[in-house]
Amino acid sequence: MKSVLEPVKPKAINLLDFDRKGLAAFFVELGEKPFRATQLLKWIYQEEVEDFDLMTNLSKSLRVYLKENCYIATPEIVIEQIATDGTRKWALQTSCGNRVETVFIPEEGRGTLCVSSQIGCALACTFCSTAQQGFNRNLTTAEIIGQVIVAQKRLGPEKKITNVVMMGMGEPLLNFDNVVAAMNLMMDDFTFGLSKRRVTISTSGVVPAMHRLTQVCDVSLAVSLHAVTDELRDELVPINKKYSLKELMEACRENAKIAPRRTITFEYVMLDGINDSVQDARGLIKLLKSVPSKINLIPFNPFPNSAYRCSSKEAINRFKTLLNDAGIVTTVRKTRGEDIDAACGQLVGQVEDKSRRHLKIKPVGSEHAA
């Protein structure tokens, strides 16, 4: 497969930027039948063929056109790290010179790929290392689905990607169209064929996009919550200043109506003396009362110059017990890949910051410490 670092014609089209619907529209514009999209998807994703001349069920004239005007390119792996627990992290080079990170987490009977959606992140959540890097741009659909392609090729047939979580670098719902197209490709029967229950999109609470998502794409939803009051969440997750907890919960309830038997996962990073009290746990129970929920408690993973400490095991277990006793399924996320900085909140890549947002970050810390 062509590297993004290789030169291409200025107006050449990367066919990985299209999901099936987009590819069908592309072929119709060329005067071809829509079913050409299915044929091409099978060649690229199932047969792993990138040479248009070998796509024998396409007409010769179409193959010539594709060869002259289109290409197939994924980000290139430039660094690979393997943790002691088997977690793998790849730094992937993009066409603009920046790098993003992708993580594969092997478990018994499953393999989860954590995929990035942006180069950096503009949301400035104070407990997340990615946010400290600033923001460069959105990833293209090709760069998002390309992470799945290169990871599966690198892993080989003996390690299968069974789940994808859009929880890498960036806020997925701020790159809505490209992320949705990539998720459509992940679930397409002619590509990876993942179940909608096995594709999860995580958001910090971009409420208008959450409403829009319910209309166009049925995937599992995870919400980065981390606080039960607007006052604290305004500091930890600054987008809360724009979309309050009340608005966020309303969007969650709307999403839950799509698949009543499915729960929404709420991610809650455990910060010592900040959001881990008995009062916080009870507030969380009250907040989620009318939302079908499961809670994923995330022990805070440190990074340089962070103002936070991870909650003690005792505090985490106490918090978990209170939630479980209230009937909310609650688990503590096992920290994976920490020795290669592949754990939750540690992905940094290589970002040329265009927003300078990271220079304005004011960490929360001592004023909340016990």
What does the pLDDT read at residue 4? 52
Sign of torsion over alpha carbons 231, 117, 181, 110: negative
Is residue 370 included in any domain, yes or no?
no
Which entry of 114, 125, 217, 344 is annotated as an active-site residue?
344
Q: Which domain holds residue 21?
A: 2-73
DSSP E strand boundaries for the chain:
2-3, 13-14, 70-71, 73-74, 76-82, 88-93, 99-107, 110-114, 118-120, 135-138, 163-166, 199-203, 220-224, 264-270, 293-299, 329-332
Which token pair is 33? Answer: 């039948």
Q: Are residues 97 and 66 in the same domain?
A: no
What does the pLDDT read at residue 334? 80
What does the pLDDT read at residue 303? 78
What does the pLDDT read at residue 367? 35
What does the pLDDT read at residue 238? 94
What does the pLDDT read at residue 310? 94
Q: Are residues 17 and 106 in the same domain?
A: no
Distance in angstroms between the alpha carbons of the first and the last residue of the chain = 54
What would you report as the CA-atom Rg of the chain, rounded to the nearest whole angstrom?
Answer: 21
Q: Are residues 140 and 23 in the same domain?
A: no
What does the pLDDT read at residue 355? 59
Q: Are residues 57 and 86 in the same domain?
A: no
Number of domains in the chain: 2
* Residue 365: burial class (beta carbons within 10 Å; 0-12, 13-18, 19+): middle
DSSP E strand boundaries for 271-367:
293-299, 329-332
Domain's final residue, options 73, 102, 127: 73
What does the pLDDT read at residue 305? 77
User: Could you tell me which of 133, 174, 167, 172 has the C-alpha nearest to residue 349?
Assistant: 133
Q: Are residues 32 and 99 in the same domain?
A: no
344 given a catalytic annotation = yes
Residue with tokens 């996962």: 265
Identity of residue 63: R
Q: What CATH number does the domain containing 69 carry?
A: 1.10.150.530
Q: Are residues 223 and 248 in the same domain?
A: yes
Is residue 102 included in any domain, yes or no?
yes
What does the pLDDT read at residue 364? 37
| Full pLDDT tens readout for the chain, 370 residues | 655 545 555 569 999 999 999 999 999 999 999 999 999 999 999 999 999 999 999 999 999 999 999 999 999 999 999 988 899 999 999 888 888 999 999 998 899 999 999 998 888 888 887 767 778 889 999 999 999 999 999 999 889 999 999 999 999 999 999 999 999 999 999 999 999 999 999 999 999 999 999 999 999 999 999 999 999 999 999 999 999 999 999 999 999 988 777 899 999 999 999 999 999 999 999 999 989 999 999 999 887 778 899 999 999 999 999 999 999 999 998 876 565 565 554 455 555 556 554 444 333 333 333 2
State the Cα–Cα distance between residues 115 and 100, nearest whole angstrom.
Answer: 9
**DSSP per residue over 21-50, as a string?**
HHHHHHHHHTT--TTHHHHHHIIIIIS---
What does the pLDDT read at residue 362? 39
Pairing of strands 135-138, 88-93: unpaired
Q: Are residues 139 and 253 in the same domain?
A: yes
CA distance readout (Å), 127 to 39, 155, 326, 368? 45, 31, 27, 14
What does the pLDDT read at residue 338? 62
Is residue 231 included in any domain, yes or no?
yes
Which entry of 101, 143, 171, 267 is annotated as an active-site residue?
101
State the Cα–Cα distance between residues 241 and 62, nearest whole angstrom.
Answer: 51
231 given a catalytic annotation = no
